[in-house]
Amino acid sequence: MARITLDNLAHSYLAHPQSEADFALKPATMTWRDGGAYALLGSSGCGKTTLLNIISGLVRPSQGRVLFGERDVTTLPTAARNIAQVFQFPVVYDTMSVRDNLAFPLKNRGLPAAQIAERVGAIARMIGMEGELDRRARGLTADAKQKISLGRGMVRKDVNAILFDEPLTVIDPHMKWELRSQLKALHREFGHTMIYVTHDQTEALTFADEVVVMSEGRVVQSGTPQSLFDRPAHTFVGYFIGTPGMNLLPAQLDGATALVEGQPVTLAGAYAPVTGRVQIGIRPDAVRLSAGGAGLPFQLARVEDVGRHRILRGTVVGHPFNVTVPEGVAIPAGADRVTFDPARIGVFVDDWRVEPLGHEQGRAA
């Protein structure tokens, strides 16, 4: 296992990139700790696979270095990196049994038979295929084959890292949940460094200790699921994480007050004057509803019941705005005002979070 360092890493698929827009991965520097579980999260085309392929050696970066521990692996081929990979679609040997498929990476490294048997047994239990070890892979469903791919990816204990690229795409929804929990358990047990690419926030937030959010080739924030939820560094993170995402309202700053279409909203602290486009961000669960009284005007369009809570969808001064109300809490009749807990209002300038005066943290990109 290894700590992974990305040192000023960037990549363009063009031979002569002219501008930042030509880079599929814009410069990124970060360190992933040995034994950490990381998710690369972002929408399609944001550069997740490019970054993963640079780490695995499938893509040679245009600039920067990749280190495994102290060792510079930037120019090493995949085979020399001692990593395991699990792809979106199953890669299994059809003519081999499930057992032999799982054992393959261990046999390749010449492990003693007893150790192989023990390890294959443990992995088979994890993927729920103990009863099928002697079946041939041919004829199994795509789902089962992908479970074998996952198992094979995790069978070796001595890899530097395990890289997963959207590995649960072909798995049915119930099994997805099951395998996600299993992966997590396996991570706890063996402490592999794991990097998991997904566009699905639920997968990222349940799997990873730390989520790296990407947008348009840029790493916009890296942090624990809770920190991304509580303190998004960028409006994209606020909007992308959370169901529904963070509400954003255009505003002007005046000390400790934000003016939304001229109407005051109290903030948790005073902000320095800024130039740029200001927005305030409020999570749908940080909103109080009332009928009349103080607050911004809210026009309710519809209520969706999603079980644990209801989502009230509407607008605030012409901007889409969602409020969540927990199950068992009454929605005030004729609710037409919203107020916010000042401590849970984020302030964003040109999409990046800014902090009030006296707060020691700046941009956390």
For residue 212, the minimal CB distance to ligand ATP (Å) is: 12
Which 3 state secondary structure label does DSSP give 327? coil
The answer to whether residue 314 forms part of the interface with ligand ATP (CB under 6 A) is no
Is 108 a binding residue for ligand ATP by CB under 6 A? The answer is no
Closest approach, Cβ 43 to ligand ATP, in A, equals 7
Q: Which is nearer to ligand ATP, 170 or 268 (CB)?
A: 170
Q: Token pair for residue 355?
A: 């902090």
- Pair of tokens at residue 329: 């809490």
Nearer to ligand ATP, 165 or 210 (CB): 165
CA–CA distance, 141 with 52 (Å, rounded to integer): 27
In the list 2, 37, 46, 140, the residue contacting ligand ATP (rule: CB under 6 A) is 46
Long-range Cβ pairs for the range 349-354 (8 Å, 24+):
349/274, 349/276, 349/277, 349/278, 350/276, 350/277, 351/234, 351/235, 351/236, 351/277, 351/279, 352/233, 352/234, 353/231, 353/232, 353/233, 353/234, 354/271, 354/274
Selected binder of ligand ATP within 50, 101, 146, 279 (CB under 6 A): 50
Q: Which is nearer to ligand ATP, 45 or 77 (CB)?
A: 45
What single string gives the DSSP state of each residue in 215-242?
ETTEEEEEE-HHHHHHS-SBHHHHHHSS
Task: Pick the closer one to ligand ATP by CB: 162 or 253.
Answer: 162
Between 74 and 290, whose beta carbon lies closer to ligand ATP? Answer: 74
Regarding 18 and contact with ligand ATP (CB under 6 A), the answer is no
Which residue lies nearer to ligand ATP by CB, 90 or 284?
90
Among 2, 10, 28, 42, binds ligand ATP (CB under 6 A): 42
Nearer residue to ligand ATP within complex by CB, 14 or 272: 14
Cβ(196)–Cβ(309) below 8 Å: no
**Cis check: omega of the bond before 244, within 30 degrees of 0:** yes
Among 6, 9, 24, 41, binds ligand ATP (CB under 6 A): 24
Q: Shortest Cβ distance from residue 13 to ligand ATP (Å)?
A: 3
Residue 89 makes contact with ligand ATP by CB under 6 A:
no
Q: Is 157 left (phi over 0), alpha (psi -120 to 50) or beta?
A: alpha
Count of Cβ atoms closer than 10 Å to residue 49 Cβ: 19
Q: Smallest distance, Å, CB 11 to ligand ATP?
A: 8
The two tokens of residue 72 are 């510079």
For ligand ATP, the closer CB: 49 or 235? 49
Pair 51, 39: CB distance under 8 Å: no
Stretch in the footprint of ligand ATP (CB under 6 A) among 45-53, 256-264, 316-324, 328-336 = 45-53
- 90 or 217: CB nearest ligand ATP: 217
Residue position matching structure tokens 């501008």:
19
Instruction: Name every residue whose Cβ is closer than 8 Å to that of residue 18 and which is 6 or more positions away in sequence.
Output: none
Regarding 45 and contact with ligand ATP (CB under 6 A), the answer is yes
DSSP string, 112-128: -HHHHHHHHHHHHHHHT
Distance of alpha carbon 349 from the chain centroid? 23
Nearest approach in angstroms of CB 166 to ligand ATP is 7
Among 81, 187, 192, 199, binds ligand ATP (CB under 6 A): 199
Residue 99 is a binding residue for ligand ATP (CB under 6 A): no
Site residues for ligand ATP per CB under 6 A: 13, 24, 42, 44-50, 199
